[in-house]
Structure 1
Amino acid sequence: MLEDLRAWFWQETLWFPEGLGWADLESKDGRVYAKTSDLWAALPIALAFLVVRQIFERTVAGPLAVLLGVKETVRLRVSPNSTLEFHYCNITKNPTQSSVDSLSKQTGSSERQVQRWFRRRRNQDRPCLLKKFREASWRFTFYLLAFIAGLAVLVDKPWLYDVKQMWEGFPTMTLLPSQYWYYMIELGFYGSLVVSVASDVKRKDFREQIIHHVATILLISFSWCVNYIRAGTIIMLLHDTSDYFLESAKMFNYAGWKNTCNYIFILFAAIFIITRLVIFPFWIMYWTWVYPLTLYPPFFGYYFFNSLMLTLQCLHIFWAILIIRMAVRFLTSNETVEDERSDKDETDDSAEEDDKKKVGQKNGPVQNGHTAHNNNHAKAE
């Protein structure tokens, strides 16, 4: 049954235009073509990236954070409270007013103390600034090196300047060693991102990031199997063009270099819009969607490839809206650029701080943001 399924999945009529097939991609006469089995090489590369990343974050990103002056915000920790902890871990991290009332009665704490406990408890679970900086440093390093590598691979290739040549001689286009390594490294990196996503900082666009990573892996893998490699290299280079600007802006933001962060972010926004909303849909997708129909009738592989391209474009539009919103707010009000996808720390409001001071006057001084009680401790603090 598995053999029948495998034979159906790889049938030539699905993945190639009429009259072409896997036999056309068999290496012969000194000409080497991409093979499906080559994709297995991305697995050890992905594992290597995971190891190198850990080393990089400890030996490079950590000292760099100190050099740039990344400072951690001191977060107030909550005192252990089994009732509130159970509710936090098993029911919800954001209790309703009725739940707050109930918890207040169970713990003997005031409603404000319960609300404050949950805010501080949520802050404890949020990733620290150093973790964010290390992740941004790692991605910045890869995207910058990948962009430079992509330029080196494509700078002397005619299809970079005349995209029509992406399809010249398709599918019998010889595989170059530089293309092999460019593909395997990019595929291995995105494979490592899928593995590490569980431990990375989770942002509000977490689902969109997962969709992007999966669509990218499928696009890279499929374009390799059916020798859409020339198109694939251009698409990867285009995506790497702006990403390292975003990661560098994050790094400077975490370091408190607000002006530098703002200027880099505006530069990133301009490059992102040009590459993802102009060049990608109106140039690249034209040569993958419209022009191929002048060469051969549409087939499943044609639709599959372009559906992945369309998925990426939808994500580009989604992120562009967030980027433009942040850029407009900065340009019109000169505010600091803030990543809308990030989950920010919560702070105690002024009313609660006044309440804390009053309690401190009755029970003792306020030390390190906590009331130093003489005899009794508030159970929710």
Structure 2
Amino acid sequence: MLQTVSEWLWWERLWLPANVSWSDLEDSDGRVYAKASQLYTALPCALGLLLVRYLFERFLATPLANVWGVRNSVRLTAEPSPILENYFCSQARAPSQADVRSLCKKTSWPERRVQVWFKRRRNQDRPGLRKRFCEASWRCVFYFFAFVCGVLALYDKPWLYNMKEVWAGFPKQSMLPSQYWYYLLETGFYLSLLLSLTFDVKRKDFKEQVIHHIATLTLLSFSWISNYIRIGTLVMAVHDSADILLEGAKVFNYAKWHQTAKVMFVVFTFLFMLTRLVIFPFWLIHCTWVYPVEKFAPFFGYYFFNVMLLVLQILHLYWAVLISRMVCKVIFSEVCDDRSDEEENDSDSPEERYHKLSHTNNRQKQRHSNTFSLNC
């Protein structure tokens, strides 16, 4: 049974063009080809990156947060209520108006008190500002490092300037050491993102992020085995270029450097639209759809690879909509990640309204006192 599954899985017509076999991709005459077994090294690489991330966030990002005064906001703890806690955990985090009225009857609480309880309870599960700062710092540094590695691996290659060179001699293209390390780094990183989903900041596009990571890992693995390495390195470099600015803008926004964050976000928006909505579909996907059929007849791998690229493009369109909304917020307020599950403000409760009003009155009295002293 396992023998039959293995034969079907590694059937040459799934992975390679016609008249090409696995024996043609064995190392010989100084040529070195990628091997499926090398993908196993991505797991220790991912675990190593998780360790590096932990050390980075603890010994670099956290001290930087202290220097820049990044502090978690003070949160009011939801008062004990077994009835509301049971509803929160088993049914819904945000009850409907009808459910609120029903819970009011069960707890003998007023409606406003129940609503405030749910806001405070949701806030308790949300990551603090320092955690988001550390996570954005790590991603910004990694994307910068990965993009530099991509530039070093590509800047002197003919297929960076002439897309038809991507398929010259395919699939018998010898793998370069720079391509091996670049692939290993990127594969390990996206695998580490999957492994860390449970404790990373959870955003509104959580499901889309999972799809993106799985699609990316599938593309990286398939392109590695099928020797689509040249186009794979181009796709990775295009994706990393804009992500540096997005994470950097969030870092500066958390640090209250709002003007710097706004400038970076505007530049990011332009670069995202250029790379993901222009270069990626009209250069890279065009290169994978049109040029290969000039060299060989389409096969399963040709269609599979292009379908996965289209999945990424659909996600790009989805994120372009989110970015457009974020641009409006940048213009009229401060930079924020529209995907984030933002902390809610429950300061409209009667007690807090009283304290807020008292604080406002005190500030007004102080302002009048200062004005009087200046006039004198």
| TM value normalised by structure 1 | 0.90
| Structure 2 partner of 1:147 | 147
Q: 1:328, CA displacement in angstroms?
A: 4.3
Deviation per CA, 1:120-162: give whole Å up to 9, x if none. 1111111110111111111111100000011111111111111
Counting only pairs closer than 5 Å after superposition, residues 291-370 of structure 1 correspond to structure 2 as 291-331=291-331, 334-348=332-346, 350=348, 352-353=349-350, 357=354
| Structure 2 partner of 1:182 | 182
Q: Distance in 2 between matches of 1:166 and 1:258?
A: 42
Q: Is the 8 A contact 2:119 2:344 kept in 1?
A: yes
Q: 1:356, CA displacement in angstroms?
A: 6.1
Secondary structure of 2:118's aligned partner = helix
More displaced 10-residue stretch of structure 1: 320-329 or 3-12: 320-329
Deviation per CA, 1:229-276: give whole Å up to 9, x if none. 111111111111111110001111111111111110000010111111
Q: 1:349, CA displacement in angstroms?
A: 5.8
| TM value normalised by structure 2 | 0.91
Q: Distance in 2 between matches of 1:230 and 1:173?
A: 9
Counting only pairs closer than 5 Å after superposition, residues 243-282 of structure 1 correspond to structure 2 as 243-282=243-282
How many residues in Structure 1 have an aligned counterpart in Structure 2? Answer: 357
User: Unaligned 5+ residue runs, structure 1?
Assistant: 362-381
The alignment status of 1:77 with 2:83, answered yes or no, reads no
Q: Is the 8 A contact 2:167 2:291 kept in 1?
A: no
Secondary structure of 2:199's aligned partner = coil
Secondary structure of 2:13's aligned partner = helix
Q: Is the 8 A contact 1:15 1:300 kept in 2?
A: yes
Q: Is the 8 A contact 1:164 1:287 kept in 2?
A: yes
More displaced 10-residue stretch of structure 1: 172-181 or 322-331: 322-331
Q: Distance in 1 between matches of 2:273 and 2:212?
A: 17
Q: 1:330, CA displacement in angstroms?
A: 3.6
Q: Distance in 2 between matches of 1:338 and 1:61?
A: 19
Q: Is the 8 A contact 1:261 1:337 kept in 2?
A: yes
Deviation per CA, 1:63-112: give whole Å up to 9, x if none. 11112221221111122222221221122221223332332233332221
Counting only pairs closer than 5 Å after superposition, residues 24-63 of structure 1 correspond to structure 2 as 24-63=24-63
Q: Is the 8 A contact 1:24 1:171 kept in 2?
A: no
Q: Is the 8 A contact 2:57 2:138 kept in 1?
A: yes
AA in 1 matched with 2:122: R
Q: Distance in 2 between matches of 1:273 and 1:99?
A: 43
Q: Is the 8 A contact 2:249 2:265 kept in 1?
A: yes
Counting only pairs closer than 5 Å after superposition, residues 212-223 of structure 1 correspond to structure 2 as 212-223=212-223
Aligned alpha-carbon RMSD (Å): 1.8
The alignment status of 1:197 with 2:197, answered yes or no, reads yes
C-alpha distance 112-188 of structure 1, shift in aligned 2 (>3 A): same
| Structure 2 partner of 1:120 | 120
| Structure 2 partner of 1:367 | none
More displaced 10-residue stretch of structure 1: 65-74 or 18-27: 65-74
Q: Distance in 1 between matches of 2:100 and 2:223?
A: 54
More displaced 10-residue stretch of structure 1: 51-60 or 266-275: 51-60
Secondary structure of 1:314's aligned partner = helix
Secondary structure of 1:296's aligned partner = coil
More displaced 10-residue stretch of structure 1: 195-204 or 320-329: 320-329
Q: 1:329, CA displacement in angstroms?
A: 4.9
AA in 2 matched with 1:120: R
